[in-house]
């Protein structure tokens, strides 16, 4: 805020607060201290004072300990002293981490946009009744030697909420979110202590040293600011015949898992039972719920096995949270468990150390989706990494799938040529994956680098359970078809017809030259045929025509195409067609829309083809009962068209339309002088 606007606001506040001017003046100073100056200038002192005053009333009201005050309202002049096009959310809460992010997430999750956020931190002194006696910035209180509690005020303007019930629903959602934030913050140290206890228990386990040591190192790595612990709970393993399940231990929850258990017992699928019986001590996956605290991501799920004195698995300690930004930027060689898998891939891939292939494989592993590296098993990682490496030898569309052991989602990495990647293709591939993988929702993360291939990482959440036996080859072929452009199909047909040498030459000349309107109406196979016709034109034979019957044409419908090294104006060509046998055996049918499209073909073809060649079509010729045979008709039409000197650039200035007489094949051409 500029000093002039700030002074104007303070002067306005002092003039309108009366006896409380000193106390509220310091409040308003602290309230807008770090606000966007553009917002301050655009709103004016009267509106700003009214907004701060409304929040002051919420702050000054008594508040129960450890409980937020929340107000969601549409301001009015009579009650609030200002009006707004948006709904206003005002919150007073004890200061703690994650507040603004979590509140904004809750508003966005309701389908609304946050248009303006103000978040001042206040040093607040209260009397025995909870009323405010002094308020200032945290820095001012510290300078004055006061240690009053710091309270967080949050103002959000979001999309307008007209319905009172919807406003109250947002209030309840915000209360739940702030309760989760408080639980995660208050239980932060107890959750860290639980993690240390679990790590100490792992040190006493009698498992294989290489597995045990990596698990212990991974837990220590998580504690070292690489994981935001949001919740923890212990579970007992229950076996009844072939049924294996995890049973939540009451009162073991901390953070967002504190309180009553929502799902007391969970039956484990065979894949998870196999993991429980394996030598792995730590299992990493994604939970089925999104975080309500800090970041709107799916919660990371880390399960550490619990053992009895005999070394048998008796349960797990489950940690929910989010990896920190440093975890995503950490070199893979520094991350326990992950580094073990990466080393295994490098050793089993067969690449020569320090070779180009080895460096490329290491780069692939470094750039591999980090969440996948935490969750994937060594065998699948090796298969995917080597498959990606082979794409450097043969660039093409590829698909790599990994199914979650619980069957809750499928991870899909799709590689497509970078020059073909766009939003439309990304959506089409996502829809294809949703259908094939029983998807309920889908998320994507694209990555475009200097590589000729673009990578899109999809996470497809299943409706009930993710399919196990997906035909990867068929699904990959369907995705490759989606990534195939009209130009690619045309090029493929030219290569098939002419071989690689001549085919590539024709493809480079014509495949990208056809305008969009042409590609919408004609297949790539037809385009390849027309490219052959256009390529055959030369100064000695500068024009060709084709009269043909499309496969999908109705009775008596023909199409006529002109290929020319010079532009043929629509105003010149249509009169000729209109009078070729008018009243005898042929009538032209050209609605206004068709004429416009034809004109577009003529203009665009001339502009985009690499040589001055015109290619026109879409003239629908409707024959009557006196028509000659198709072969004679084609010959007669060709003779008529070739006989008009104007198309051949003869010196004659113009011509009148020709008339073809079918009875004796006479072709009179009338010319003006």
Which residue has tokens 């709107």?
296
Contact 430, 293 (CB under 8 A): no
| Owning domain of residue 282 | 189-330
Q: Are residues 212 and 171 in the same domain?
A: no
Contact 639, 661 (CB under 8 A): no
What average pLDDT does the segment 329-356 reach?
94
At 644-662, the pLDDT tens digits run 544 444 433 333 333 333 3
Does 503 reside within a domain?
Answer: no
427 vs 441: CA distance, rounded Å: 13
* Dihedral sign from CA coordinates of 288, 290, 293, 299: positive
pLDDT of residue 412 exceeding 90: yes
pLDDT of residue 600 exceeding 50: no
Q: Are residues 318 and 345 in the same domain?
A: no
Structural domain total, the chain = 4
Q: How many CB atoms lie within 10 A of CB 393?
A: 7
Does 554 reside within a domain?
Answer: yes
319 vs 317: CA distance, rounded Å: 7
**pLDDT score at 22:** 59
Does 253 reside within a domain?
Answer: yes
pLDDT of residue 103 exceeding 90: yes
Among 347-351, 395-399, 418-422, 584-588, name the one with the lowest average pLDDT. 584-588
Q: What is the mean pLDDT of the chain?
A: 83
Torsion of Cα atoms, 99 then 101 then 103 then 105, to 10°:
-150
**pLDDT score at 88:** 97
Q: Which helix (H) or strand (E) holds 370?
A: helix 370-375
At 117-127, the pLDDT tens digits run 999 999 999 98
**pLDDT score at 12:** 79
**pLDDT score at 568:** 67
431 vs 245: CA distance, rounded Å: 34
**pLDDT score at 601:** 32
236 vs 252: CA distance, rounded Å: 11
Q: Which of 289, 304, 330 marks a domain boundary?
A: 330
**pLDDT score at 662:** 33
Helix/strand number for the chain, H first, E second? 23, 21
pLDDT of residue 498 exceeding 90: yes
At 615-640, the pLDDT tens digits run 444 444 444 344 455 555 555 555 55
Q: Are residues 357 and 472 in the same domain?
A: yes
662 vs 583: CA distance, rounded Å: 11
Q: Are residues 223 and 161 in the same domain?
A: no
pLDDT of residue 341 exceeding 90: yes
What average pLDDT does the segment 579-590 reach?
39
pLDDT of residue 594 exceeding 60: no
Residue with the bigger pLDDT between 581 and 267: it is 267
Q: Are residues 149 and 257 in the same domain?
A: no
**pLDDT score at 474:** 96
Q: Which of 330, 358, 373 marks a domain boundary?
A: 330
- The DSSP string of 447-512 is E--SSSEEEEEEEEEESSS--S---HHHHHHHHHHHH--HHHHHHHHHHHHHHHHHHHHHHHHHTT
Q: What residues does 255 pair with on adjacent strands?
A: 231
Rounded to the nearest 5 degrees, what angle is found at the Cα of 110, between the Cα atoms of 107 and 114? 35
**pLDDT score at 120:** 94
pLDDT band at 570, cuts 50/70/90?
low
Q: Are residues 378 and 259 in the same domain?
A: no
Q: What residues does 114 pair with on adjacent strands?
A: 158
At 469-489, the pLDDT tens digits run 999 999 999 999 999 888 989
CATH assignment at residue 235: 3.30.450
Residue with the bigger pLDDT between 630 and 151: it is 151
115 vs 159: CA distance, rounded Å: 8
**pLDDT score at 30:** 82
Q: Are residues 195 and 318 in the same domain?
A: yes
At 258-283, the pLDDT tens digits run 989 988 999 999 999 999 999 899 99
User: Structure tokens of 555?
Assistant: 């009775």
pLDDT of residue 242 exceeding 60: yes
* SS3 state at 290: strand
Q: Are residues 114 and 255 in the same domain?
A: no
* SS3 state at 142: helix
**pLDDT score at 452:** 92
pTM of the model: 0.78
Report the relative pairing of strands 227-240 and 243-248 from DSSP bridges. Answer: antiparallel
**pLDDT score at 19:** 55
Contact 602, 515 (CB under 8 A): no
Q: Which of 118, 150, 182 marks a domain boundary?
A: 182
635 vs 456: CA distance, rounded Å: 54
At 154-176, the pLDDT tens digits run 999 999 999 999 999 999 999 99
In Å, how far are 147, 324, 456, 547 from 418, measured between CA atoms? 58, 30, 11, 40
**pLDDT score at 642:** 55
**pLDDT score at 660:** 36
402 vs 373: CA distance, rounded Å: 12
Q: Are residues 361 and 304 in the same domain?
A: no
Q: Are residues 265 and 379 in the same domain?
A: no
480 vs 399: CA distance, rounded Å: 9
**pLDDT score at 582:** 36
At 279-312, the pLDDT tens digits run 899 999 999 899 999 999 999 999 999 999 888 9
* SS3 state at 267: strand
Contact 230, 256 (CB under 8 A): yes
- The DSSP string of 193-224 is HHHHHHHHHHHH--S-HHHHHHHHHHHHHHHT
List phi, psi (to 5°) of 546.
Answer: -140, 125
pLDDT of residue 323 exceeding 60: yes
Does 93 reside within a domain?
Answer: yes
pLDDT of residue 201 exceeding 90: yes
Q: How many CB atoms lie within 10 A of CB 101?
A: 15
**pLDDT score at 208:** 85
What average pLDDT does the segment 29-56 reach?
86
pLDDT of residue 549 exceeding 60: yes
Q: Are residues 260 and 240 in the same domain?
A: yes
């Amino acid at each position: 805020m500029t000093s002039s606007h700030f002074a104007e606001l303070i002067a306005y506040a002092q003039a309108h607060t009366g006896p409380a001017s000193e106390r509220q003046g310091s409040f308003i100073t602290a309230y807008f201290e770090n606000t966007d100056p553009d917002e301050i200038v655009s709103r004016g002192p009267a509106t700003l004072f009214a907004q701060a005053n409304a929040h002051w009333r919420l702050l000054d009201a008594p508040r129960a300990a450890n409980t937020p005050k929340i107000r969601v309202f549409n301001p009015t002049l009579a009650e609030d002293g200002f009006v707004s096009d948006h709904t206003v959310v005002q919150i007073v809460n004890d200061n703690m981490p994650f507040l603004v992010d979590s509140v904004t997430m809750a508003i966005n999750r309701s389908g609304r946009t946050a248009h303006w956020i103000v978040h001042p931190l206040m040093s607040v002194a209260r009397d025995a009744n909870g009323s405010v006696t002094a308020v200032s910035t945290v820095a001012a209180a510290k300078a004055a030697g006061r240690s009053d509690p710091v309270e967080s005020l949050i103002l959000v303007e979001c999309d307008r909420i007209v319905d009172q019930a919807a406003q109250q629903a947002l209030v309840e959602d915000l209360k739940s979110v702030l309760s989760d934030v408080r639980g995660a913050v208050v239980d932060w140290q107890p959750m860290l202590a639980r993690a240390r206890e679990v790590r100490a228990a792992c040190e006493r386990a009698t498992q294989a040293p290489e597995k045990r040591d990596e698990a212990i190192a991974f837990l220590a790595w998580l504690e070292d600011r690489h994981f935001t612990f949001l919740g923890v709970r212990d579970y007992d393993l229950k076996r009844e015949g072939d049924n294996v399940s995890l049973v939540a231990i009451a009162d073991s929850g901390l953070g967002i898992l504190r309180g009553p258990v929502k799902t007391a017992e969970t039956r484990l699928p065979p894949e998870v039972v196999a993991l429980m019986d394996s030598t792995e001590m730590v299992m990493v996956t994604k939970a089925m719920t999104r975080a309500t605290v800090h970041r709107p991501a799916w919660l990371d799920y880390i399960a550490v096995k619990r053992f009895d004195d005999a070394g048998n698995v008796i349960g797990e300690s489950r940690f929910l949270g989010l990896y920190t930004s440093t975890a995503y930027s950490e070199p893979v060689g520094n991350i326990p468990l992950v580094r073990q898998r990466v080393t295994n891939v490098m050793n089993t891939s067969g690449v020569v150390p320090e070779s180009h292939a080895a460096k490329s494989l290491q780069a692939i592993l470094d750039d591999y989706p980090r969440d996948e590296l935490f969750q994937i098993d060594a065998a699948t990682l090796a298969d995917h990494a080597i498959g990606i490496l082979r794409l450097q030898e043969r660039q093409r569309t590829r698909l790599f799938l990994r199914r979650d052991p619980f069957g809750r989602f499928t991870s899909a990495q799709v590689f497509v040529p970078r020059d073909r990647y766009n939003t439309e293709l990304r959506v089409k591939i996502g829809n294809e994956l949703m259908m094939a993988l029983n998807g309920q929702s889908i998320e994507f993360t694209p990555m475009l680098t200097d590589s000729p291939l673009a990578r899109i990482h999809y996470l497809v959440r299943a409706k009930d359970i993710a399919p196990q036996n997906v035909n990867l080859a068929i699904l990959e072929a369907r995705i490759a078809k989606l990534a195939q452009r009209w130009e690619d199909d045309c090029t493929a047909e030219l290569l098939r017809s002419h071989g690689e040498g001549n085919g590539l030459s024709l493809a480079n000349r014509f495949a990208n030259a056809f305008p969009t309107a042409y590609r919408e109406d004609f297949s790539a196979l037809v385009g390849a045929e027309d490219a052959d016709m256009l390529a055959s034109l030369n100064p000695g034979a500068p024009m060709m025509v084709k009269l043909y019957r499309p496969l999908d044409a109705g009775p008596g419908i023909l199409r006529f195409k002109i290929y020319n090294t010079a532009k043929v104006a629509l105003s010149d060509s249509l009169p000729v067609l209109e009078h070729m046998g008018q009243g005898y055996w042929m009538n032209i049918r050209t609605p206004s829309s068709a004429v416009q499209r034809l004109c577009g073909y003529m203009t665009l073809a001339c502009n985009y083809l690499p040589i001055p060649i015109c290619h026109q079509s879409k003239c629908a010729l409707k024959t009557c009962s006196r028509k000659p045979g198709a072969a004679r008709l084609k010959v007669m039409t060709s003779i008529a068209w070739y006989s008009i000197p104007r198309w051949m650039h003869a010196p004659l200035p113009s011509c009148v339309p020709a008339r073809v007489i079918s009875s004796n094949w006479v072709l009179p051409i009338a010319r003006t002088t």
